[in-house]
A and B are shown apart, each in its own frame.
Chain A
Amino acid sequence: MITGFFFIGGAAATLIRLELFSPTGRFLTDNEYDLVFTLHGVIMVWFFLVPLIPTTLGNFLLPMMIGAPDVAFPKLNLASWYLTLTGGLTVLAAVLLGGVDTGWTFYPPYSTTFSHSHVALAAIGVIIAGFGTIATGVNFVATTHTLRAPGMTWFRLPLMVWALYATSLVMILATPVLAMTLLLLVADRLFGLPVFDGFRGGDPLLFQHLFWFYSHPAVYIMILPAMGVVTEVITCFARRRVFGYRAMVYAILAIAIIGFGVWGHHMFVSGQSAFANLVFSFLSFIVAVPSAIKVFNWTATLYRGQITFEAPMLYALGFIGLFTVGGLTGLFLASIPIDVQVTGTYFVIAHFHYVMVGGAVSAYFAGLHFWWPKITGRLYDEAWARFAAYLMFFGFNFTFFPQFILGYLGMPRRYHTYPPEFQTWNVMSSTGAVVLAAAYLMPFFYLAWSLFYGKVASANPWEATGLEWRTTSPPPTRNFARMPVVTEDPYDYHDPQYSPEPATRSIDRMAARALGRGASGAETAP
């Protein structure tokens, strides 16, 4: 389902980049372009990025990583899938009926009073999907609290679990506000209510406050699980314990909590008061600190590691670079003088694509490849995977780096016509998009191929730590043949005193393991 939505959102992106090859409209009218970028935003935010890692990897991994047979509420899990699907189909219905042209942010008064598009239907679809998100959040939190295996204390949890836990808390707290906000918006639109109508005593900024109260934490919903994946992958392919485990935990929680207080940085030029601008700018600088701590700790984890460059590692390393660029440009945007210049331009677009696509999607691919053997029982072709990873990194930068320049030079977002002097950068960006699209399509082929012809995977082909690697690939219905008992810390790749052993995955290493030295626990019989 997520893949399906990715294709739809990706198709919209393709239309956008094709349209932007030329400074004047090529094949879309002004309003059609509005429909396309709205579709791209709505689908990609709510039906791709928000559910991406939690529902695809999280559902599968969370119970295993804590040593549980399933999530706490299996039927609720199924319900959340149906809710997301129903929401998505409702939005698609709105698209087929003629689309929405307000942008994914649905700002009034255009969305309430002036737009002739299917705002209400799309908003209702998003509300329904939101309930699915809340259900997932409730499930994951309850699971983590009550289904941990014996010996799996909180500070022995893999950071992926902590990341999913924090994400779930954000889902539970933020999403209902979106539901109410969109409900008020739909009511305004359908019944002519003046809640957001400035001419009749309401305030359009109220919508923005409520909307961004959800939508900023929403981006942390997208990035936190990605950060969890990155820790799992980097520790494995550097054969290192994570640097500063507790700091990483506190950083995850800090991002989740402080992330609720920064939403006004989306509103610096909206008419918000100068005092509020100051407060939000300050808090936005603060929220960067825990993210930076995580980047430092990943880097420190690599130090003196025995690093190998399998595909998951390539994606994870790419994440670190791209997320850092995206995060730093976020700091530029948090600085009000800079934001006044570049808000509403391609600079912002480049920033959030760096963190969301360069970050979250890269991490997703890292996780997909890392756990592919566990999920499917097959190994993918490493050569193709590495090639796709390099291609993605190259294509991504080629697509989005020019957009920083375009934004700085003043090209506004959501416009499909632009001054001719911007064309070079736009063509560069669109060409990069072609490469990026190819890089995204490649995994479909070699991963699908591996399902039929790939080598059969063992329980632990990467020699990783973590409970999920102690069961078969793929795991049995109740995840483990016998409930595991946890006795060691996470990322037990080496004795804390010493540097790690090289992972040659050779006969020597297997022999070393058999003699009782080395990282992973014994494989259980199916």
Chain B
Amino acid sequence: MTGAALESAKGAGLPDALREPWSELPRQQEAATLGMWLFLMSEMLFFGAVFMAFSFTRALDGEAFARAARETALWYGASNTLILVTSSLTITLAIRAAGAADNTLATRLLAVTALLGLAFLVVKGFEYRDDLDHHLYPGADFALGQNAALIFWSFYWIMTGVHAIHLAIGIGLVTRLAWLMGRGRLSFASPQLEVTSLYWHLVDAFWVVLFPVLYVAGRG
């Protein structure tokens, strides 16, 4: 960001986005983005590990996994994918709007993003209820018997559960941004926008891999 833009940002009464130990804003932004990417790298390994475990077990008993996969609710999953992908669009547009100095539009788009995230969780909630009704949870009365099918569903609950927790955190972060921007307390020079959107895209990215793998690929 140029000095002129920073000056005008300050002149507009927006808070000084510069923090310790930085002396220049572009450096701070560069570091914030790099820091978030490094964190994303760790998150990719986190989910990569469970995908590896899933694939490993599938290779042990593909038939049981196929039986289990056929019980997944394709339409719930597809709807959720639509919702989440759209939310990635809205958050990207929010950043673009902020960059175009249209803070009102940016605030609205951030709010929509958070709402879409909530919608995802609601749909997921309904899906979980259905899964529970069909006895598709770990326990003695698991619907498909005490075998690798149960492992598939264990992974289902763990992967979607961990994803949902990440999403909930993301909703909190985006809501906070929407609130700050709505109050005029967030400068578009602040690295927070970029960093939060990266996190949100990561959560979307996991789902984009998770949905085809869990709901479609393994149906046999």
From B52-60, B108-116, B117-125, B126-134, the one touching the partner chain is B52-60
Whether the pair A210, B49 counts as a contact (CB closer than 8 A) is yes
The residues of A that contact B27 with a CB separation of less than 8 Å are 146-147
Count of residues in A whose CB is under 8 Å from the partner chain: 44
CB-nearest residue of chain B relative to A197? B151
- Which of B38, B41, B46 has most chain A Cβ within 10 Å? B38
Contact of A138 among B38, B50, B158 (CB under 8 A): B38
Whether the pair A138, B35 counts as a contact (CB closer than 8 A) is yes
Please, what's the 1-or-0 string for B147-191, where 1 marks a CB less than 8 Å from any CB in chain A? Answer: 111110011001000100000000000000000000000000000
Which A residues between 177 and 215 are near B, CB-CB below 8 angstroms?
A: 177, 179-181, 183-184, 187, 191-195, 200-203, 206, 209-210, 213
Whether the pair B41, A179 counts as a contact (CB closer than 8 A) is no
A145 contacts B by Cβ under 8 Å:
yes
- Complexed CA–CA distance, A172 and B40 (Å): 9
Whether the pair B53, A195 counts as a contact (CB closer than 8 A) is yes
The residues of A that contact B50 with a CB separation of less than 8 Å are 180, 184
Decide if the interface of chain A is mainly helix, strand, loop or mixed: helix
Whether the pair A69, B38 counts as a contact (CB closer than 8 A) is no
With contacts A70-B20, A210-B49 known, is A201 near B151, CB below 8 A?
yes
CB-nearest residue of chain B relative to A173? B45
The residues of A that contact B46 with a CB separation of less than 8 Å are 176-177, 179-180
B79 contacts A by Cβ under 8 Å:
no
> B residues near A, CB below 8 A?
20-21, 27, 30-31, 34-35, 38-39, 41-43, 45-50, 52-53, 56-57, 60-61, 64, 138-139, 146-151, 154-155, 158, 162
- Besides A141-B34, A184-B53, 11 new A-B residue pairs in contact (Cβ under 8 A), listed by A number: A69-B20, A70-B20, A73-B35, A138-B39, A141-B38, A147-B31, A176-B46, A179-B46, A202-B60, A203-B60, A478-B21
> A residues near B, CB below 8 A?
63, 68-74, 76, 134, 137-139, 141-142, 145-147, 172-177, 179-181, 183-184, 187, 191-195, 200-203, 206, 209-210, 213, 478
* Nearest 7 Cβ contacts at the A-B interface: A201-B148, A176-B46, A70-B21, A180-B49, A146-B31, A193-B154, A176-B45
Query: Can you give 24 contacting A-B residue pairs, CB < 8 Å?
Result: A63-B21, A70-B21, A74-B20, A139-B35, A142-B31, A145-B34, A146-B30, A146-B31, A147-B21, A172-B41, A173-B45, A175-B42, A177-B49, A180-B46, A191-B139, A191-B154, A194-B147, A195-B151, A201-B150, A201-B151, A202-B60, A203-B57, A210-B49, A210-B53
